[in-house]
Structure 1
């Protein structure tokens, strides 16, 4: 092979120098070279515009946000704790952040929704904490906040579902209400929405004795989606052994009274998963003219994110879950943006090292999904060196806004759950042809 001429050698040397300079700059700034070149600018812009909307002056822990935007004002409910950075510990409360989306951090204020010891309407929250708050917009003046906790006599910490209403115009917060439900196609029998009722319904769906396998608490993990004249969501129930969740599903439910009472419908069967950990968790809910879709995490990287659907003509039967995306660890978020974007999702992706820090962080894939949920296409990936955990998407005036959990103060570096931040996905990047 002939040697390169002098000008070629100079060009090669300059190219190598520029590459080395680029690597050095990345190392100084702490950015990971694992981000593909075409994603770097998008990821950086998304992270840099993210503003804190939780209350870091007093909170040591903040996580699991749910977002609604009404007339330019953001409302994000989340669980937090001012005494410890750990999850589901004594002192954890449900809190609502209220902020102008044009200037989030500077305008943020907070309303405490509920905590242990909360007493009103003849009900009293027992135990040590509340968890899993989720937000539903009734109209432009009323928000309904659901969460889980217990009565003092209940056997577990997340034993029943409560809700309160927040009136935007007055700032008033209603008293406690306990959600109720009907099961097994028996509308005349009204029950408290507790694990006991859900277990009985699982027996109806899958056979006697199945419900008893799910015996360790519930969660309002699913978002709320109004369509066909009713409100739809899911209720999550699990079983844990040796401190690890091994069996978990979500039961579809619908309400004709904005969530005060629910009719329990079908559930995907986690026992069909080929893993020792049979988990169908934290679904994002979408629908079309013929089907309702549950987009779920399996919590197993080989199984990934899965899809299970039910025909609207028979909402008591879901098909077997099918793997649609990789990893499957972390709450999925999906937003139906209408034409031309369609469904846009955020799925947690595998971890990468945050050089020069000692921590690792998960990527988050931004994915477009076709209307039939057949084709999933990665648009770009996001990395926040402080974490992108449990994102939540909200469409408002054509833009896709996001709240997610991060850990800028690194109180527990492994998890990144000390702040809730507010950002926006770059619509122009999503609008590129697939």
Structure 2
């Protein structure tokens, strides 16, 4: 019916892999009743059948009945009192061994179990396993690790962690390799290059993000060919958006280097604040720019050197831009206004030392951040190399729009406005003193 049956919030358990059969579901090592979400037992199924649960622990495979019973027994607790203990019990059907070389079980198709591990796939007959033999009925090499498998149309499909797709069939043939085809972008138009190149000369980096309001293929091609910027372009015309998406998909660039979005009024597109190293407002979109809208677009420009280019020049717009704090007008090019956003956000402040500043005041001079707060970005580089909090190592520091953070063997700079990794340097042992998970007195004790 689509009606919500129940919702149970569990602080300790949760996962994207959910198994369900009959009146139970399994998630993150536990079995629950589907009717009310009540926990039943600890269980980590590898496979579920219509009437059985298959679990794998290393080389051991155990198959139990899906449905069981609750048994209650009386025991003596540590205080000497008699207490009753209830436990869910399911009968064992059979058990077997599978060599750890073949990794974990992914699926059962017919009477075979299919397994996978790094660079290897295997298939085991259930009847053979139940008879005490663990020799695979079939195996095949692959590149990298299998991520998931699917059996359909008498074929086995395997997707790997590196996004490779394999298809295996009953007959042995010479495999066909289908490599993704890419259509190179055409050589950029010299006039467009001459118009865009000066903007790139003003950028402090060829990395980062660009926002282009008014999709123009030639301008976008030039940015893609001459920078490493990740581009978001917005246009009102759905046909143009579709054409450009297909163009950059064919070039192998769509999604990771460029995204094209359709929005009825590109000038009103709700772009994230402070994220773009370069903002370009093109042609007809720029011509519709009215005084009073510049501030909203300018908000998307990254502090500390972001560039705004307006393909439309008039005195009112120029006066409005000059009134914005921390802006510098750059020489115009063929009627295009070019603005550089210099310095920090008004009212913001650095945290440049362990305790805030050279005077160790432990007080931020920032008067910009106020409630209510919202999410600016999430993600960024992994924290795997960063020091654990328990060692109370040097605190992250912020200066010039960069967050500087230390690891056991590295120092890293991250863009505070986007979470983008700016640089990382290996310095062996620099944070080793704090690289512990036991609580520690901290940097101030040294």
Note whether the superposition's TM-score is higher than 0.5: no
Give TM-score scaled by structure 1 length. 0.31
Q: Which has the larger radius of gyration?
A: 2
Higher normalized strand content (fraction of residues):
1
Q: Between the two structures, name the one with larger relative contact order (CA 8 Å, sep ≥ 6).
A: 1
